[in-house]
Amino acid sequence: METTLVLVKPDGVQRHVVGAIIARFEAKGLQIVGLKMQRIPEATLRTHYGDHKGKPFFEGLIAYMASGPVVALALRGPRAIATVRKMMGKTFGFEAEPGTIRGDLGLSGSFNLVHGSDSPASAEKEMQLFFRPEDLVEYRHLDYDVILDPRDAGDQGKK
């Protein structure tokens, strides 16, 4: 099982689509193991988006992400990282396919509603920025008995 970070960005919070976004992940079968609303300190944002430092959009991205609260989610499931990335859609709403979060809910070339970790290494690093170990809740996802073939979940889906 993988655990990945999703951030519902300030535009998603302000547009009142947090519930709709979370509902998509739950309906897919991903397990919420962490959830919190917060304002992200600038220092954390600079660390989180450090790979983009020096790019023309970096300072604007930091200002945008600091402009309002975000909702941080820790989602768990088999292939969670790839699943979340596919569900989010292309970066900009006007390019994203219908059926994706950004394709259905986004239009902007700047505000794109959600962030999701792009690799296991990123997920591990990003999770540590937004969640302490005690913030994550381990529990048996009862629906896995009907959502996953045992070959998908292995013993990890039976907690």
The question of whether 48 is a catalytic residue gets the answer: no
Q: Which residue, 142, 64, 79, 152, is CA-closest to 116? A: 79
Residues 6+ apart with CB under 8 A from 75: 3, 4, 5, 6, 25, 30, 31, 32, 33, 84
Q: How far apart are CA 38 and CA 17, in angstroms?
A: 16
End-to-end CA distance of the chain: 11
- Of 16, 48, 52, 115, catalytic: 115
Q: Which residue, 44, 27, 37, 29, is CA-closest to 129? A: 44
Active-site residue set: 115
